[in-house]
Amino acid sequence: MTARAPRSLAQRLFASAALWSLSILLVAGLILSAIYRRSAENAFDERLGVYLRAIVADVATPGEDTRTEPGQLGDPQFELSLSGWYWQITPLSQQTKKVKASRSLFASRLPLLADQGVKAELGEYRRGYAQGPDGRSVRLIERVIETDEEGKFLIQVAAAINQLESDIRRFEYSLAATFLLLALALVGSTVAQVRFGLSPLRRLQGEVSAIRRGEGDRIEGEFPPDLAPLAGELNLLISSNREIVERARTQVGNLAHALKTPLSVIANEAQSEQSPLADKVSEQAQVMRDQVNYYLDKARAAARSNMVGATTEVVPAIEGLVRTFQKIHRDGVPEFEMDLTCAPRFRGEEQDFQEMLGNLLDNAGKWAAARVLVTLHQEPGFVGGGQDFLVLSVDDDGPGLPPDLREQAVKRGRRLDETKPGSGLGLSIVADLAAVYAGEFTLEDGILGGLRARLRLPAA
């Protein structure tokens, strides 16, 4: 199971800001919706309360000719059957048991909020929702009053909540549309804020990339106080790296001079005498000189490969070496050809690149019958900003090399054919230098019928 790639800093900032903004908007929307519902209910209750107070005033007025008779409240909806607007007067004492109600109830009765567990407010005033006579939900308010002559009465006024719910839904739709636009605006502002806030980091990344590509030697420009110490530390690290590389080069050079002089003395003394021992000493001194040169070159390459900002223009280096080898083979055999489809840069020292390519061209020139072909292309890195590579191939039309001998051919000092000149170190040097730069060197079947030497190196 592959591990999930870590999210970038920009993604983290955007996700956290967007999550908090949307959460706050959601909570604010719910609170505003609840406040509006309460306000709408209070306004609706106030309207019902006007009718309730009118009925209470009528009941409290002595006499039979009261305004609670049909048509006396001044609203025709109380006269229409099952219109959704109702009033009812229920006696609670023994003096009278006659229930008065609006014509709209049509012989039905309103439920009691007290039976539904609604607690009474000040003055035995209750309000809440109930089911009306036609099955629709109604908003119901009721109040108990007591008169001196007729005792206690329960006064109820109810109205269907269709209009109330319609008003609340319109408000919630308008609120949702407004908050949606606000959310889009917040998301857009968050994107702009993240991009603006992280722009110094992108600029710092560009400066570091320029140094890696060899286009600069230090981080330039001013940065915010949060990043300025990091930029300074990176500059100090780059300077320290260069100093370490220079000291390593100096020490390697000193070691080379310290070893070459005694070896030269030993070789000269051995050559001055004619004996089997002198010949053996001279032979081994030469082997030691080759080994010292090999490992010193390898140490120099390792030091240079760790140096920040070292890059090489590949195409000019290839063209220069091909011209050199064409001059070496003045008879035109083999003929050196190039197929360079791109112009990448090698992330390393030019001297090391020339040494690798020079050994490959020299080996191909020795074994080719008539042609040597040098091809170059660039291989993109993995998705997500991986390292790009340049792939350099040298093909010849010689006899080739069996697969079982290719691994031995790149071993240090191993020569598969003593009839050809050389020390047997060329291909091993190429393999070691490629490994120093985290590249690859392989021997494959060539497109010209002979051997292909394939070199894969990091591109700048």
- Rounded distance, CA 243 to CA 237, Å? 10
> If you search the block for the tokens 């009033």, which residue do you land on?
87
| Cis, peptide link before residue 334, omega less than 30° from 0 | yes
Residues 376, 318: contact at Cβ < 8 Å? yes
The alpha carbon dihedral of 321, 327, 328, 334 has a sign of: positive
Per-residue pLDDT of the chain in tens (460 residues, 90 and over written 9): 455 656 777 778 888 888 888 899 999 999 999 999 999 999 998 988 888 888 888 877 765 544 445 446 777 888 888 888 999 988 887 666 688 888 888 888 898 888 888 888 776 788 899 988 888 899 999 988 887 777 788 899 999 998 888 889 999 999 999 999 998 998 888 888 888 888 888 888 888 877 776 667 788 888 888 788 888 888 888 888 777 777 776 776 677 667 777 777 777 777 777 778 777 877 787 777 777 776 666 665 655 555 555 678 899 999 999 998 888 877 777 889 999 888 888 888 888 898 899 999 988 888 898 999 999 998 886 544 567 889 999 999 988 888 888 887 777 555 545 445 444 567 888 888 888 888 899 999 989 989 999 999 988 7
Write the CB contacts of 138 (distance below 8 Å, at least 6 apart in sequence). 84, 86, 129, 130, 131, 132, 158, 159, 160, 161
Q: Which residues pair with 138 in a beta bridge?
A: 130, 160
